[in-house]
Amino acid sequence: MSLDKAPGKSNVLGTYRESGVASAAAAYDSRSSERHTGSSAAFFDVDNTIMRGASLFHFAAGLAKLKYFSGREIFGFGVKQMKFVLSGSEDLEDVASATTAALSFVQGRSVEELTRLSEIVFDDRMVDKLIPGTLAIAQEHIDAGVDVWLVTATPVELANLLARRLGLTGALGTVSQTDNGIYTGQLVGYPLHGLAKAEAVRALAASEHYDLSTCYAYSDSANDIPMLSTVGFPTAINPDPELRAYAKKMDWEVSDFRRRAQLRANAIPAAVTAAGIAAGLTAGYALGRVARGSKNT
C-alpha cells in the first residue's frame, strides 16, 4: 500500500482484514504463556481500559526522553496520531495520515533496539499508569483458566511486552513490515484500530479454536464496538459517552474504575485478585532496574 495515498474504498474492508490476519499470525507466533485447555478467551483493549491514557503516547514520550527521536518529531507524530485515535475516524485520509506518522519514527531502525527500549519505557513511564480494577478482572480470567489477550493499535512489539509483563497469554497489535530485523517503513494493512481489531479477534479465534460466543471483550471506546460485538460477553470499561449509551441500549455490562466510590470499593479486591499480576510486575520492574544498573557499572 502506498503511504501517500489512501487505498480505494472498495479495498478498505480487505485491508482491515489483512491487518487483523497479520496481527493474529504475529500473536500466534509470539504468545507469552501456554494456552489453557478451554475454548474461551478474554480480549482487553489497552488505552484507558488497562492503562490510563494513550499507551502509544507514553511510549513515544519515553523514547523521546531516551533521545530515540527529537521533541519536534514527537509533537508532529502526537498531533496526527491523537487526532486519528481520539476522533475515531475511519476516513481514508485520516487513516493514511496516521499510518504515515506511526511509521515515521521506526523506519530504518532495528526491531531489537525498539524492543529493548520498550522494557525501559515500561518501567519508567507506564507501570504506574495501569488500572488496578481492570487488572483484577484479567487476573480472574487467568485464575479461571481463560486465555487473556491484549488488543491494541500500538506496535505489536510494545503490545507483546505489556502482555508478557502482565502475565497474559499474548497480544494483538499493529504489525510493521521488517527486512532482516529492520523496519521498512510500511505497515501490514492499517493500524489495528476499529474494524481491524474485530478482524484480528476473529482470525485469532479461528486459529486458536475459540468459541466467540463464550468469549469476553473489554474496552472504553465506541471505536471498539465492532470488537465488543464479536463476543458473547462484552463489557464497557471506563466508557466514553457513545459507548456508554450503546452498552445501555444493548444491555452490556459496564464497569467504571474512574469514580472515587468505585475505586474505593475495588481497592481491596483488586489488590488481592491482581496479586499474580502485581507480583510479576514487581519482579519484572526490579529485574529491569538491576539489569540496567549492571550495564552501567
What are the residue numbers of the active site?
Answer: 45, 47
The answer for residues whose C-beta is within 8 angstroms of residue 128's C-beta and 6 or more apart is: none
Q: Do 224 and 51 meet the contact criterion of CB atoms below 8 Å apart? A: no
Tally Cβ neighbours within 10 Å of residue 56.
23
Considering only CA atoms, which of 270, 254, 256, 284 is closest in space to residue 163? 284
Residue with cell 515515521: 104
Whole-angstrom distance, CA of residue 18 vs CA of residue 271: 39
Distance CA 257, CA 220 (A): 11
CA distance 178 to 3: 16
How far apart (Å, rounded) are the C-alpha atoms in residues 217 and 202?
12
